[in-house]
Amino acid sequence: MPKQVLITGGAGFIGSNFVRHWCQRHTGRVVVLDILGYAGNRANVADLEDQARFRLVKGDICDRALVDELLTTEQIDTVIHFAAESHVDRSILGPAAFVQTNVVGTFTLLEAFRDRWQTQGKPHHYRFLHISTDEVYGSLSADDPAFTETTPYAPNSPYSASKASSDHLARAYFHTYGMPTLITNCSNNYGPYQFPEKLIPLMCLNIMLGKPLPVYGDGQNVRDWLHVSDHCTAIEQVLHQAEPGDVYNIGGNNQVKNIDIVYQLCELMGEMAPANGIELPKTPRELITFIADRPGHDRRYAMDISKIKRDLGWSPVYNFTDGLRQTVAWYLTHRDWWQPLLSAEYQGYYKNLYGDR
């Protein structure tokens, strides 16, 4: 029987990529619950809205009555929970929203799902997949081994602390109630539809607009980059193959320093913009500007993905150079998608954060 899925945060970056991936491969009902805040964009799933089995609901995961109604009327058996406040810099400026959505929102979903699962007689095929991050494990120094599923939690930002809290709740619902929760912890994603506050799309847009490329601190921080399509296949495999209560690390085996990404983006943009009929206002490299570091900035993340490789046979397929090239091409050719996001609110946010730069 096809799964009847509720996808929270399905109008955001990873959520919308996943919804499209899922709809191409599976039949069955697909309901997206998204508050359509600054990062949730109806345009991200517009191509799916003509499918009868697809429904986008604008609403808050903290709204228990709404979640109950959706689980019941849509006969949901599977929740894939992406919805979150996701940007570290915003969590430093205003942590309250992170506690509300990431902790209280996750708790609300877990409670509603527990109620439905119990009322239905605890069916074996029900699943609650909680999407989380490598940031819960804290920061690595240059020679530390990569994070495994048993690395102790040590979140350093309000964002990662709120995600760690929600991971603990999902874990506790399995251990206490036997509820079939699954948790995935993934490294940095990149690809189409990422909101241009995150490193890669921000740099792409600023190069096109001739604006400074703000590099925090010395630019030597390392992230483990994974193409969003690889994240989608990993989530799908976890959903189909993992045992209730399982936790899987997902990553790209691809550690790169921030400054090297910025250099690569400058080069790719310089090469690809003219081919797409776009004249760059300034030489990209000249826009690089080192600015004050992010408070509490984690130095390095790296994921050990041997468990998911061994148990589920998953590995990333994208090579970073090709993935970055594809991503740059997407931002070059989707001005209609990103231009509306450069609104007064968005600009104001950056002004508050960094002043004029």
Give the span between the Cα atoms of 193 and 160, in whole angstroms: 22
Q: Are 245 and 186 in contact (CB under 8 A)?
A: no
Q: Is 135 near ligand DAU (CB under 6 A)?
A: yes
Taking CB under 6 A as the binding criterion, the range among 54-62, 93-101, 146-154, 213-221 that sits at the site for ligand DAU is: 213-221
Q: Which of 5, 15, 20, 107 binds ligand NAD (CB under 6 A)?
A: 15
Q: How many CB atoms lie within 10 A of CB 222?
A: 18
- 45 vs 199 by CB, closer to ligand DAU: 199
Burial (CB count within 10 angstroms: exposed 0-12, middle 13-18, buried 19+), residue 28: middle
Instruction: Name the nearest CA neighbour of 199 among 112, 127, 297.
Output: 297
Task: Kindly give the residue spans of alpha helices, DSSP state H, lying in the chain.
Answer: 13-25, 64-73, 88-93, 96-98, 106-119, 158-177, 199-209, 228-241, 258-275, 306-312, 320-333, 335-338, 344-354
Q: Is 252 in the site for ligand NAD (CB under 6 A)?
A: no
Give residues 168-227 in contact with ligand NAD (rule: CB under 6 A).
186, 188-189, 195
- Those residues whose C-beta lies under 8 Å from the C-beta of residue 309, and which sit 6 or more positions away, are 315
Query: Interface with ligand DAU includes 87 (CB under 6 A)?
Result: yes
- What's the CA gap between 72 and 52, in Å, rounded? 18
Contact 250, 187 (CB under 8 A): yes
Q: Identify which of residues 157 and 206 has a Cβ nearer to ligand NAD in the complex.
A: 157
Cα 63 to Cα 33, 101, 146, 344, distances in angstroms: 11, 10, 38, 29
Q: Choose, by CB under 6 A, the member of 5, 6, 11, 239 that binds ligand NAD.
A: 11
Binding mask 277-316 for ligand DAU (x = CB under 6 A): -----------------x------x---------------
Q: Is 37 in the site for ligand NAD (CB under 6 A)?
A: yes
Pick one of 8, 221, 254, 264: the residue that binds ligand DAU (CB under 6 A). Answer: 221
Q: Which residues are catalytic?
A: 134-135, 159
By the 8 A CB rule, do 214 and 354 touch?
yes
Which residue's CB is nearer to ligand NAD, number 61 or number 287? 61
- Distance in Å, CB of 169 to ligand DAU, minimum: 17
Nearer residue to ligand DAU within complex by CB, 76 or 140: 140
Q: In angstroms, what is the minimal distance from the CB of 65 to ligand DAU?
A: 28
Among 214, 252, 316, 323, binds ligand DAU (CB under 6 A): 214
Q: Is 86 in the site for ligand DAU (CB under 6 A)?
A: yes
User: Which of the residues 104 through 143 are near ligand NAD (CB under 6 A)?
Assistant: 105, 131, 133
Q: Is 258 in the site for ligand DAU (CB under 6 A)?
A: yes
Q: How far apart are CA 252 and CA 20, in angstroms?
A: 21
Could you give the CA distance from residue 159 to residue 91 in angstroms, rounded to a whole number? Answer: 5
Residues that bind ligand NAD (CB under 6 A): 8-9, 11-15, 33-37, 39-40, 60-62, 82-86, 101, 105, 131, 133, 163, 186, 188-189, 195
Return residues touching ligand DAU (CB under 6 A): 86-88, 133-135, 187-188, 198-199, 202, 214-216, 221, 223, 258, 294, 301
